[in-house]
Chain A
Amino acid sequence: MKIKLHILMFLMLPLFAAPPAVRAESASEREHKIKAAFVYNFIKFIDWPQEKTPDKNKPITIGVVGSDTFVKAFDPVKNKQVKGRRLAIKRFGDWDKLKESQKKNDSAWKEKLEALKKCRVLFICSCESGKNKVPVEIIKALKGSGVLLVGEVPGFLEKGGVINFVTENKKVRFEVNSTSAKRNKLKIRSQLLKLAKRIYKEEPSEDAKN
Chain B
Amino acid sequence: MLSVVRNMTIRQKLTAIIMLTCIVALVFAGAIFIMWGYASAKRNMADNLLMQAEMIAEGSKAAVVFEDKESAMDLLKTVRTNRSIFHAGIHTGDGDHFADYDRDDVDSHPPLPQKDGCVFGDDYLVACKAIVLDGEIIGSVYLYSDLRLLHESLRNNAILVLAALFVAFLVAYLISSRLQKVISGPILNLNDIAQQVTSRKDYSVRAVAQSNDEVGMLIGSFNNMLDTIQQRDMLLVAANENLEENVRDRTAELTREIEERKKKEVELRGLQEDLVTTSHRAGMAEVATDVLHNVGNVLNSVNVSVDFIKGKVLNSKVLNLNKVADMIAEHTDDLGTFFTEDARGKHIPSYLIEVAKLADDERTDVGDKLDFLAKNIEHIKEIVRTQQAYARVGGVEAPTNISDIIRDAVEINSAGLNRHGARVVLELGELPKVCVDKQRVLQILVNLINNAKYAATKSDSAENLITIRCNRCGEDRLRIEVSDNGVGIARQDMGKIFRHGYTTKEGGHGFGLHSGALAAAEMGGRLAVDSDGPGKGATFTLELPFNSKEQVQCTR
Contact = CB atoms under 8 A, between A and B. Distances in A.
Interface in A18-38: 34, 37-38
B59 interface: yes
B144 to A, nearest CB: 25
Contacts of B133: 41, 44
Interface residues of A, number: 17
A195 B62 contact: yes
Contacts of A174: 66
Nearest to B69: A171
Interface string A149-193: 000000000000000000000010110000000000000010110
B551 interface: no
Contacts of B61: 191
Question: Interface on chain A toward B: helix, strand, loop, or mixed SS?
Answer: helix
A82 B134 contact: yes
A44 B71 contact: no
B68 interface: yes
B134 A189 contact: no
Contacts of A192: 62, 66
B134 A194 contact: no
A44 B63 contact: no
A48 to B, nearest CB: 14
B368 to A, nearest CB: 176
B65 interface: yes
Most chain A beta carbons < 10 A, residue from B59, B67, B135? B67
Interface in B54-105: 59, 61-63, 65-68, 71
A83 interface: yes
B321 to A, nearest CB: 196
A83 B59 CA distance: 19
A192 B63 CA distance: 8
Contacts of B66: 38, 41, 174, 192, 195
Contacts of B63: 191, 195
Interface in A185-210: 189, 191-192, 194-195
A4 to B, nearest CB: 21
Interface of B: 59, 61-63, 65-68, 71, 133-135
20 contacts: A38-B66, A41-B66, A41-B133, A44-B133, A44-B134, A81-B135, A82-B134, A173-B68, A191-B59, A191-B61, A191-B62, A191-B63, A192-B62, A192-B66, A194-B62, A195-B62, A195-B63, A195-B66, A195-B68, A195-B71
State the 9 A-B residue pairs at the shortest beta-carbon distance, nearest first: A191-B62, A41-B65, A44-B134, A195-B68, A192-B62, A195-B66, A195-B62, A195-B71, A44-B133
